[in-house]
C-alpha cells in the first residue's frame, strides 16, 4: 500500500497541485511544532480538525493560533452539538492519522469549513499525510482544493 505521503501527493496532483513537501524528522505533530520547524507564524499553520455532527464527519481547517468554537460549527451544520472525532474516526473519515491529516485528498468527501483568519496570509502550511511532513499553499489554493467554505469557526 502506498505510504500516506504518497497517497497525499497523488490526491494533490489530481486536484492540480504539485506541493513541495518538506520533511522534519523532529516532527510537526502540533501547530506549534510545525511553525517552529518551518519558521513561520503559528497563525499560518492549518490545523485539520475533524468533528462529528452525529454520524457525519466535518473538517474544520483552523488557524494554528485559534481554537474551534464547537457551537459555531454546530450552527453551521444545523445540529445541536458537535464533538471532536476520536483518532479512529479521523482515520475512517480521512484516511490519515491525527497530526498528519491533510486539508484535502481524503478517502471520502467531507463538509469543510475554513477559519477566516487563514485567509489573511500570503502562504499557509498544512500536514501532508504524516506528523513529519508539511507543505505550503496559498489560502486561495486551500479553499479551491478543499472545497471549503470560509466561516467564523474560531472561539472568542
Ligand atoms: N501536523 C500538525 C500541523 S500541520 C497538525 O496536524 N496539527 S492538527 O492540529 O491538525 O492535529 C493535531 C490535533 O489533533 C490537535 O489539535 C487535537 O485537536 C487533535 N488531537 C490530538 N490528539 C487527539 C485525540 N487523542 N483525540 C482526538 N483529537 C486529538
Give the model confidence (pLDDT) of 137-147 as tens digits.
999 999 999 99
Alpha helix segments (H runs only) across 1-124: 4-14, 31-38, 70-77, 87-94
C-alpha cell at 121: 496570509
Distance 99 CA to ligand 1 centre (A): 5
Distance 30 CA to ligand 1 centre (A): 6
Q: What is the rounded CA–CA span in Å between residue 156 and residue 144? A: 27
The alpha carbons of the chain give a radius of gyration, in whole angstroms, of 14
- pLDDT of 59 over the 80 cut: yes
Kindly give the number of the ligand 1 atom that is closest to the alpha carbon of 127.
4
What is the rounded average pLDDT of the residues 64-71? 98
Q: Is residue 84 lining ligand 1, measured as CB closer than 6 Å?
A: yes
What is the rounded average pLDDT of the residues 80-107? 97
Share the mean pLDDT of the chain.
97
Q: What is the rounded CA–CA span in Å between residue 144 and residue 133? A: 21
- pLDDT of 36 over the 70 cut: yes
pTM value?
0.97
Q: Is residue 40 lining ligand 1, measured as CB closer than 6 Å?
A: no
What is the band of 5 on the pLDDT scale with cuts at 50, 70, 90? Answer: very high
Amino acid at each position: 500500500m502506498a505510504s500516506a505521503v504518497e497517497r497525499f501527493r497523488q490526491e494533490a496532483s489530481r486536484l492540480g497541485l504539485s506541493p513541495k513537501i518538506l520533511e522534519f524528522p523532529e516532527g510537526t505533530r502540533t501547530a506549534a511544532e510545525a511553525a517552529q520547524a518551518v519558521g513561520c507564524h503559528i497563525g499560518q499553520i492549518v490545523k485539520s480538525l475533524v468533528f462529528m455532527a452525529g454520524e457525519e464527519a466535518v473538517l474544520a481547517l483552523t488557524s494554528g493560533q485559534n481554537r474551534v468554537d464547537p457551537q459555531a460549527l454546530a450552527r453551521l451544520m444545523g445540529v445541536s452539538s458537535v464533538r471532536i472525532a476520536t483518532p479512529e474516526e479521523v482515520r475512517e473519515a480521512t484516511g490519515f492519522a491525527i497530526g498528519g491529516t491533510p486539508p484535502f485528498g481524503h478517502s471520502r468527501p467531507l463538509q469543510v469549513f475554513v477559519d477566516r483568519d487563514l485567509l489573511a496570509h500570503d502562504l499557509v502550511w498544512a500536514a501532508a499525510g504524516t506528523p513529519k511532513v508539511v507543505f505550503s499553499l496559498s489560502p486561495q489554493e486551500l479553499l479551491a482544493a478543499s472545497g471549503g467554505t470560509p466561516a467564523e469557526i474560531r472561539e472568542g
